[in-house]
Amino acid sequence: MPNFLDYEFMRRALEAGLVLSIVAPTIGIFFVVRRYSAMADTLAHVSLAGVAAGMFFGLSSLWSALIACVIAILGIERLRERRTLASDTVVSLFLFGGLATGVVLLGLRRSAGINIASFLFGSVLTVTGDEVRNIAVLGALALAVAALLWEPFFAVSLDEDVAQAAGLPVKTLNRLLAVLGAATIAISIHVVGVLLIGALMVIPVLAAMQFRLGFRATWAIATAVSALSTVTGLILSYYLNLASGATVVLCAVAFFLVSMAVAAGLAGKRHPARQ
């Protein structure tokens, strides 16, 4: 059987997957600790509408998804500020509205041979060289912003009221974080698809949190789990002929279970009396 790295499409898949595996937990850790998972899901569904709209304007799926998500973020914030609707209701409105818009628009382009499933579940093996470059550029930008604003993002995630009382621009930081989430989602579309995007932002972080360590240590473990899941998932999907995005996510779930067992074992050694 040939080595999977002999194929260019596998090398491109690995490159795109590895960029995502670093970006997703880096932004995802802030979403998890702030319990923003619903926001990530909503943006993922809105991104489908962006991808579909992009096809009408000849835009790449990555950039059109990003633009749609940023518009959605601004819309969500505007409606939240009006305080006429509950916050979770506003998020749901955009989630269902985004998904429905995406399905309708993609349906209109069905004659062009569009495969909706590839957007819903990912198709990393069909990523082109240009798309890998775009993913790398957007990923590097997202990582640079996260690295520059790591401390303010952490302070706001810890306690919004205290951060605001201290004079941090909480609203701006929240919007910026949502935009970084949108960038992560745009990067993820080809690798894991709209329906599984949230998984790589959340599951590696949850796996790392089992060890009850500090914020930076948790991030480091989450990134390692994410990278391992991506590489293992892509290799398994190649040799076992499985859906690549779903296999990556299943690997992340497996690493989460292993982390839980190892963390419980370590806690038992530290506190034998509790066993």
Smallest Cα–Cα separation from 28: which of 263, 168, 197?
197
Interface residue with other proteins, options 106, 208, 225, 234 (CB under 8 A) = 208
Q: Does 137 bind other proteins (CB under 8 A)?
A: no
Interface residue with other proteins, options 166, 257, 258, 262 (CB under 8 A) = 166
Angstrom distances, CA of residue 98 to CA of 41, 66, 71, 104, 105 = 11, 13, 11, 10, 11
| Number of Cβ atoms within 10 Å of the Cβ of 154 | 15
Smallest Cα–Cα separation from 191: which of 135, 144, 140, 242?
135
Backbone angles phi, psi at 256, to 5 degrees: -60, -45
Interface residue with other proteins, options 148, 257, 258, 266 (CB under 8 A) = 148
Q: Does 272 bind other proteins (CB under 8 A)?
A: no
Nearer to other proteins, 27 or 191 (CB): 27
Nearer to other proteins, 168 or 260 (CB): 168
Q: How many residues bind other proteins (CB under 8 A)?
A: 29
Q: Does 209 bind other proteins (CB under 8 A)?
A: yes
Q: Does 116 bind other proteins (CB under 8 A)?
A: no
Nearer to other proteins, 135 or 209 (CB): 209
Q: Does 154 bind other proteins (CB under 8 A)?
A: yes
Q: Does 225 bind other proteins (CB under 8 A)?
A: no
Nearer to other proteins, 134 or 174 (CB): 174
Please give the residue ranges that form the binding site for other proteins (CB under 8 A): 33, 35, 148-149, 151-152, 154-155, 157-159, 161-169, 208-209, 212-218
